[in-house]
């Protein structure tokens, strides 16, 4: 269940978006003003014969092609839409049928409107009769129900509403939504309360490619977006769930290929390393919380030191300090320190 965004949470979300100069929060429009996309080039990485990863300035985009058309997973920032579409057209001129959003953040949904309008869907019968051309004029946008809830809620102060045309047109509320497209099973799998509360991973079963959204990245500590329902335990669970899907070769390499939300093309072993890091840091802080250590004491113990040179940062919207604080708060809620036992005299209010 999603809880409505509190005013405080919305302000925090806006602050995060502004601080990053755009990257990851819901408020795309204001954030985009701070970022220059002119020099962004789209790097197209072939994953399989019919699956590609597009790397630009936002979250990675997955392009899945075939005889039925094209499915696009995540659409980066709105100003990049033309470049993304050009990159898609360099791969295939088939119609874009589906856009899938892995979660609500602006760097993953920004191009929804332009890319869905560049596509079209199939419809017939009274649907076409009732709606006319509108029934087929755009590609379908699929996301978890909580993405729609977040996008359709009142925007944070100073933030414009995400355009209606960018909202998901189809949502799901179950563990997964799956269908056949391009002759292959496509599974859209919900991982609850992880990066946000509306995360989906998209598994192309025959191609053996998994697009994870920000449930896995290769460039930063896991971003636990508390304002949008994220939790560290959910994030660890999601990484383990990804590993349940992926199958590597007998030497832990290749096999299922993993397209991360940000960063380079990966496989299961890369997820294993990231899962190990996330679990180890979470478990350390949990242990420190159980020992009754304060947040300052935990920070002084440097629970992320072994990973800071790889994933840490002191600047930007998601610093190492914020990562530690978020885990600390969630562990402290889950494992509140035991109150010291009172003596009989203290209970009676007497001095000993």
Partner 1 sequence: MKSLRLIALGAWLVAGTGIPAFAQAGADFSGVWQPRYHEDQPDRIPGPELTDYTGLPINDSARQYANSWDPSRLTLPEEQCRVHVSPYIYRGPLNLRIWEEKDPKTQDLIAIKHYSSTFEQTRTIWMDGRPHPGPNAPHTWMGFSTGRYDGDMLIVETTHLKKGWVRRNGVPMSDQAKMTEYMVRNGDVMTHIFVLVDPVYLTEPLVKSQEFVRSARELPAGTWLWVCDPVLEIADRPEGEVPAYIPGEHPFKDEYARRHQLPEIAVRGGAATMYPEFQEVMKKATMPPPLPKPQPGATRVTGAGQQQQSR
Positions that interact with partner 1 (CB under 8 A): 43, 45, 53, 55, 236-237, 240, 243, 250-254, 257, 263-270, 272-273, 275-276, 279-280, 283-284, 287, 301-303, 305-310
Pick 159 or 231: Cβ nearer partner 1: 231
What is the smallest separation between the CB atom of 235 and partner 1, expressed in angstroms? Answer: 12
Nearer Cβ to partner 1 (64/121): 64
Q: How far apart are CA 277 and CA 40, in angstroms?
A: 31
Burial state string for 205-231 with b = 16 or more CB within 10 A and e = fewer than 16: eebbbbbbbbbbbbebbbbbbbbbbbb
Q: Which is nearer to partner 1, 163 or 254 (CB)?
A: 254
Report the distance separating Cα 319 and Cα 321, nearest Å.
5
**Element housing 270 (H / E):** helix 268-290
Q: Residue 152 Cβ, how far from partner 1 at the closest point, in Å?
A: 34
Q: Which helix (H) or strand (E) holds 329?
A: helix 320-334
> Nearest approach, Cβ of 168 to partner 1 (angstroms)?
27
User: Shortest CA distance to 198 belongs to which of 329, 108, 70?
Assistant: 108
Q: Which is nearer to partner 1, 19 or 45 (by Cβ)?
A: 45
Distance, CA of 99 to CA of 81 (rounded, Å) = 13
Question: Closer to partner 1 at the Cβ: 208 or 267?
Answer: 267
State the number of CA atoms in the 13 A half-sphere of 299 facing the CB.
12
Residue pair 76/276 in contact by the 8 Å Cβ criterion: no
Cβ at position 213, least distance to partner 1 in Å? 17
CB of 273 to partner 1, least distance (A): 5
Q: Minimum CB separation from partner 1 for residue 308, in Å?
A: 6
3-state secondary structure of 311: helix
Question: For partner 1, which is the closer residue by CB, 44 or 136?
Answer: 44
Q: How many CB atoms lie within 10 A of CB 287?
A: 14
Under 8 Å between Cβ of 64 and 186: yes
Report the residue count for the chain: 352
In the bound state with partner 1, the residue whose beta carbon lies nearer, of 226 and 301, is: 301
CB of 229 to partner 1, least distance (A): 21
């Amino acid at each position: 269940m999603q809880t409505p965004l509190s005013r405080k949470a919305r302000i925090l979300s806006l602050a995060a978006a502004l601080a990053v100069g755009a990257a990851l929060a819901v408020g795309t429009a204001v954030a985009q003003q701070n970022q220059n996309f002119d020099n962004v080039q789209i790097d197209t990485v072939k994953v399989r014969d019919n699956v590609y990863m597009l790397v630009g300035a936002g979250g990675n985009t997955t392009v899945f092609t075939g005889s039925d058309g094209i499915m696009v997973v995540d659409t980066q920032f709105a100003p990049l839409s033309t470049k993304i579409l050009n990159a898609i057209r360099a791969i295939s001129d088939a119609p874009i049928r589906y856009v899938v959003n892995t979660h609500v953040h602006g760097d993953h949904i920004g191009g929804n409107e332009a890319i869905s309008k560049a596509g079209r869907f199939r419809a017939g019968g009274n649907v076409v009769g009732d709606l006319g051309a509108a029934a087929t004029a755009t590609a379908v946008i699929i996301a978890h129900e909580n993405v729609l809830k977040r996008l359709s809620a009142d925007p944070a102060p100073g933030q414009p509403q995400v355009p209606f045309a960018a909202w998901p047109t189809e949502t799901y509320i179950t563990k997964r939504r799956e269908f056949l497209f391009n002759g292959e099973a496509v599974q859209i799998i919900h991982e609850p309360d992880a990066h946000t509360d509306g995360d989906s991973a998209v598994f192309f079963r025959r191609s053996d490619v998994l697009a994870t959204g920000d449930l896995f990245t290769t460039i930063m500590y896991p971003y636990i977006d508390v304002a949008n329902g994220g939790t560290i335990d959910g994030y660890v669970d999601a990484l383990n769930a990804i590993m349940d899907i992926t199958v590597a070769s007998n030497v832990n390499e290749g096999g299922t290929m993993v397209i991360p939300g940000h960063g380079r093309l990966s496989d299961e072993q890369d997820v294993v390393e990231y899962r190990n890091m996330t679990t180890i840091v979470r478990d350390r802080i949990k242990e420190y919380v159980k020992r009754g250590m304060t947040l300052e004491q935990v920070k002084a113990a440097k629970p992320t030191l072994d990973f800071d040179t790889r994933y840490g940062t002191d600047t930007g919207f998601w610093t190492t300090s914020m990562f530690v604080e978020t885990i600390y708060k969630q562990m402290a809620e889950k494992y509140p320190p035991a109150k010291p036992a009172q003596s009989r005299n203290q209970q009676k209010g007497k001095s000993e």
